[in-house]
Amino acid sequence: MNNFLNIQSLSAKVEDKLIINNLNLNVDKGEVHAIMGPNGSGKSTLSNVLAGKDGYEITSGIINFCGEDLMSLKPNERSNRGIFLAFQYPVEIPGVTNINFIKTALDSNRKHRGLDPLKPGDFLKLIKEKSKILGIPEDRLKRQLNVGFSGGEKKRNEALQLLMLDPSLAILDETDSGLDVDAFKIVADSINSRRNNDSSMLIITHYQRLLERIEPDFVHVFINGSIIESGGPELASEIESNGYERFTDVK
C-alpha cells in the first residue's frame, strides 16, 4: 500500500441508486492509471466523488490522499492539495474572463502552499507559453470562461488549466471526447509531456486512442461501479479489439 491515493471498499449512491460498488484502487506517485468502461458504468461518478462534488452519498469505504482523509475535505481544499479534475463538460461562467479565472485559481492554489500571488508579468509569460503549446490563440484567454467555446475549445481550455495548475493528481474525465484528430494529438502530447515522478494521472475514457499517446502503467476495467479486472496497456488493446462484452458476460 502507498500513501498517495488509496481507495478502499468505496461505495457511493446517488438518489438511492448504488453507482460505486466496493471499489478498491491504489495510485502511487508518478503512476498513470486508466479507467475504462462502457457508458453508464459510473466512471464520471468516480471522478466527481474524488473531487468532492455534492449529491453523492458515500455509504462505505475510505479515500486517503497523501495521508489525509479526503472525504473530510471540501472541493476547494482538495484542489489546493493538488487534485485537479479536467471536466467532461466544462461549464460556462458568463462575465468572468478566462485569464482572470485561471489567475484566481492559480493564486488560490499558491496561497495554500504559502506562496504570494504570481506577479502579473510572470503570470502572463507562463500562460502565453502554455497556450502556445496547446495552440490556444491569445484572444481566447480574454473571452468569458467557456462561453461560446466549441466542445474542442473547452477541452483544450481544460488542458490549459491542467498545465497551469500543475497538480499532483490529475483526473481526466473523457478529455479526448470532442477533440478533432489534430487537436487530440496536441492535447494528449502536452499532457503526456508533463509526466514525472511526482505527479500522477487517472485517465477516464472509453477508447484506447488517448492511451496510445499517454501510455498508462495500469489499465482497470470498470463495470457497474467496480473494477473487475486490472492489467497493463495490453488490456486497453484487447478492449479496443473486442469491446467490453467479455467483461459484461462475466457478470
Partner 1 sequence: MSESQDKLSEKDFKDPYEFGFETDIESDFAPKGLNEDTVRFISNKKNEPKWLLDWRLDAYKRWLTMSEPDWSSVRYPPIDYQDSYYYSAPKDSEKLDSLDDVDPKLLETYNKLGIPLKEQEWLAGVAVDAVFDSVSVGTTFKERLKEDGVIFCSFSEAVKDYPELIKKYLGSVVPTTDNYFSTLNSAVFSDGSFVYIPPGVRCPMELSTYFRINAAGTGQFERTLVIADKDSYVSYLEGCTAPMRDEHQLHAAVVELVALEGAEIKYSTVQNWYPGDEEGRGGVYNFVTKRGDCRGDNSKISWTQVETGSAITWKYPSCILRGNNSSGEFYSIAVSNNYQQVDSGTKMIHLGNNTSSRIISKGISTGKSSNTYRGLVSIHPKSRNSRNFTQCDSLLLNDNCSANTIPYIESKNSESIVEHEATSSKISEEQLFYCQQRGLDEEEAISLIVNGFCKDVLQKLPMEFAVEAQKLLSVSLEGSVG
107 touching partner 1, by CB under 8 A: yes
99 touching partner 1, by CB under 8 A: yes
Cell of 108: 488560490
End-to-end Cα separation, the chain, in angstroms: 28
- Tell me the site size for partner 1, rule CB under 8 A: 37
Nearer to partner 1 by Cβ, of 21 and 97: the residue is 97
105 touching partner 1, by CB under 8 A: yes
Q: Smallest distance from the beta carbon of 77 to partner 1, in angstroms?
A: 8
218 touching partner 1, by CB under 8 A: no
Phi, psi dihedrals of residue 33, rounded to the nearest 5° = -115, 140
Nearer to partner 1 by Cβ, of 38 and 117: the residue is 117
Nearer to partner 1 by Cβ, of 60 and 76: the residue is 76
Q: What is the DSSP string of 11-67?
A: EEEETTEEEEEEEEEEE-TT-EEEEE--TTSSHHHHHHHHHT-TT-EEEEEEEEETT
Q: Scanning the structure block, which residue is given the C-alpha cell 508533463? A: 194
Provide the pairing of β-strand 32-36 with 200-205.
parallel
Binding region for partner 1 (CB under 8 A): 51-55, 74-76, 78-80, 84-85, 87, 90-91, 93-97, 99-101, 103-105, 107-109, 112, 117, 120, 142, 144, 161, 165
